Structure 1
Amino acid sequence: MSTDAFAAAVGRGASRRPSVAKAMRAGAVFGIIEALTPVIGWMLGILAASFVQQVDHWIAFSLLAIVGGKMIIDAIAVEKVETAPARSGLTALIATAVGTSLDAAAIGVGLALIGVNIWVIAASIGFTTFVFTTFGMLIGGMVGARFGRWAEIAGGVVLIGIGTVILLDHLGYLG
Structure 2
Amino acid sequence: MDYVSLIGIAVGLSMDAFAVSLANGAVTRKVRPAFALKVAGCFGLFQSLMPIIGWLIGKAGASIINAVDHWIALILLSIIGIQMLREAHKCHGGEACLQDNIPTRTLLVLAVATSIDALATGILLPSAVGASTTQLMLLSVCLIGVVTLVLCYIGVYIGKKFGDRFTGKAQIIGGLVLIGIGIKIFVEHMWFS
| TM-score range normalised by the length of the shorter chain | 0.7 to 0.9
Q: Cα RMSD between the aligned structures? A: 2.3
TM-score by length of 2: 0.79
**Contact 1:19-1:138 within 8 A present in 2 as well:** no
Cross-structure match for 1:6: 18
- Whole-Å Cα distance in 2 between the matches of residues 134 and 70 of structure 1? 23
Task: Give the counterpart of 2:164 among 142, 145, 157.
Answer: 145
Aligned to 1:56: 69
Partner of 1:158: 177
Contact 1:31–1:130 at 8 Å: present in 2 too? yes
* Structure 2 counterpart of 1:73: 86
Distance 1:54 1:47, change over 3 A: same
SS of the counterpart of 1:149?
coil
Q: Give TM-score scaled by structure 1 length.
A: 0.87
1:146 is displaced (CA, Å) by 2.3
Q: Report deviation, 1:86.
A: 7.7
The offset of 1:53, in angstroms, is 1.2
Closer/same/farther in 2, CA of residues 127 and 87 from structure 1, 3 Å limit: closer
**Aligned residue type for 1:92:** T
Match of 2:104 in 1: 90
Cα distance per residue 1:52-90 (max 9 Å; x no partner): 11111111111111112212222222469x7xx989400
Task: Give the partner amino acid of 1:7.
Answer: A
Q: Secondary structure at the match of 1:148?
A: coil
| Offset, 1:92 | 0.3
Count of equivalent residues: 171
Partner residue in 2 for 1:21: 34
Query: Which consecutive unaligned segments of at least 5 residues does structure 1 have?
Result: none
Asked whether the 8 Å contact 2:24–2:102 carries over to 1, the reply is no
Q: Structure 2 vs 1, CA of residues 15 and 132 (structure 1 numbering), >3 Å: closer, same or farther?
A: same
Unaligned runs of 5+ in 2: 1-12
Contact in 2 for aligned 1:45/1:52 (Cα 8 Å): no
Q: 1:134 to 1:36 in 2, by over 3 A?
A: same
Runs of 4+ in 1 over 3 A off after TM superposition: 85-88, 112-115
Q: Which residue number corresponds to residue 115 of structure 2?
A: 101
Indicate how the Cα distance of structure 1 residues 60 and 157 shifts in structure 2: closer, same or farther if over 3 A, else same: same
Give aligned-pair identity as a percent.
Answer: 37
